């Protein structure tokens, strides 16, 4: 007979979680969801005001939350954050950027900007926080990749490459830190209504075309990603590491589909 209390499978009581990018979008909803399951939150963002607003919203629910201004491209900032929260059990990072241009039109400055935020900073976060978690006996690190790590389109080359690199980095981190109890996973969203996709939403034809690419026929909302974050952070995913959780409404399952006439 099992001794597991499945009613608390997703409980995060007594654990501290840091969400980077908590000021808006997926990061904000992830922070609220983790707090709702008992975690004490550190709401981190490059924008201190939005980070504090999310922390205030978490505290309004009765949960514990602090805010932190954090530039993930700055090595000193990341080191200071790890030193300030040595008891961190969950790390979620969502920060990303994109420059939609074809390869021939890209400047090296644009390349560096996308890769530095999407991949270099992810490397820095894992490199800094994973050993701290390992020293404490384990933890969960969750990075946000994208369907573009698997399927691409013109104008997405550098973004797609950075997200594919992140997936492989996460797999390697899972292998290296797994023996110390640190689980490292990725979430790969499809199209989500966030500030990063505002350019698409402003174009009805483009917006509608993307909606029809998923099996559900619509875009996702940021709060629809939060369940995956809670799952990967919790004991429900205690044997899950090195994986990529697709939350894309079926986009990659049916990409390129044709529905023949009846």
Look at residue 140 and tell me if it is in a domain: yes
**Sign (positive or negative) of CA dihedral 65, 71, 75, 77:** negative
User: Distances in Å between the alpha carbon of 23 and those of 121, 170, 201, 223, 233?
Assistant: 18, 24, 21, 14, 20
| Cα atoms found within 13 Å of the Cα of residue 69, Cβ hemisphere only | 3
**Sign (positive or negative) of CA dihedral 194, 197, 203, 209:** negative
CA dist., res. 41 & res. 167, Å (int): 25
Look at residue 218 and tell me if it is in a domain: yes
* Structural domains in the chain (count): 1
CA dist., res. 170 & res. 222, Å (int): 22
Look at residue 242 and tell me if it is in a domain: yes
Q: Residue 128: which CATH number?
A: 3.40.50.720
Count of other CB atoms within 10 angstroms of residue 80:
14
The per-residue pLDDT for 2 is 62
Q: In what order do the strands lie in the sheet with 40-45?
A: 65-69, 40-45, 16-20, 88-93, 139-144, 182-189, 244-247
Structure pTM?
A: 0.95
Look at residue 48 and tell me if it is in a domain: yes
Look at residue 257 and tell me if it is in a domain: no
Give the tokens for residue 25.
Answer: 């979008």
CA dist., res. 111 & res. 98, Å (int): 9
Phi, psi of 111 (to 5 degrees): -60, -50
With b meaning 16 or more CB within 10 Å and e meaning fewer, what string describes 17-54?
bbbbbbbbbbbbbbbbbbbbbbbbbbbbbbeeebbbbb
Write out pLDDT tens, residues 10-50: 999 999 999 999 999 999 999 999 999 999 999 999 999 99
pLDDT < 50 positions in the chain: none
Look at residue 87 and tell me if it is in a domain: yes
Q: Give the range of the structural domain holding residue 109, as residue numbers without chain letter.
A: 9-249
User: Distances in Å between the alpha carbon of 40 and those of 7, 22, 90, 220, 222?
Assistant: 20, 14, 10, 27, 21
The per-residue pLDDT for 174 is 98
Look at residue 259 and tell me if it is in a domain: no
Does 85 participate in catalysis according to the annotation? no
Give the tokens for residue 178.
Answer: 């797994």
Write out pLDDT tens, residues 138-168: 999 999 999 999 999 999 999 999 999 999 9
Look at residue 261 and tell me if it is in a domain: no
Among 6, 85, 159, 258, the active-site one is: 159
The per-residue pLDDT for 58 is 98
The per-residue pLDDT for 106 is 97
Q: Tell me what the pLDDT averaged over the chain comes to.
A: 95
């Amino acid at each position: 007979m099992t001794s597991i209390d499945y009613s608390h499978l997703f409980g995060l009581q007594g654990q501290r979680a840091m969400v980077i990018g908590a000021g808006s979008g997926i990061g904000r909803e992830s922070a609220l969801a983790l707090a709702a399951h008992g975690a004490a939150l550190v709401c981190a963002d490059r924008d201190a005001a939005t980070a504090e607003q999310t922390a205030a919203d978490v505290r309004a629910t009765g949960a514990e939350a602090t805010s932190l201004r954090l530039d993930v491209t700055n090595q000193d900032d990341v080191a200071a954050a790890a030193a300030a929260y040595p008891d961190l059990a969950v790390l979620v990072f969502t920060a990303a950027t994109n420059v939609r241009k074809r390869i021939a039109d890209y400047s090296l400055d644009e390349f560096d900007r996308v890769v530095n935020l999407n991949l270099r900073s992810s490397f820095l976060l894992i490199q800094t926080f994973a050993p701290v978690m390992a020293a404490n006996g384990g933890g969960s690190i969750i990075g946000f990749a994208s369907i573009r790590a698997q399927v691409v389109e013109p104008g997405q080359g550098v973004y797609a490459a950075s997200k594919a690199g992140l997936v492989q980095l996460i797999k390697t981190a899972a292998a290296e830190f797994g023996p110390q109890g640190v689980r490292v996973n990725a979430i790969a969203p499809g199209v989500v209504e966030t500030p990063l996709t505002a350019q698409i939403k402003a174009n009805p034809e483009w917006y509608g075309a993307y909606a029809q690419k998923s099996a559900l026929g619509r875009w996702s909302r940021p709060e629809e990603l939060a369940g995956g974050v809670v799952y990967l952070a919790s004991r429900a995913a205690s044997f899950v590491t090195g994986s990529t959780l697709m939350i894309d409404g079926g986009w990659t399952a049916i990409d390129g589909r044709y529905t023949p006439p009846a």
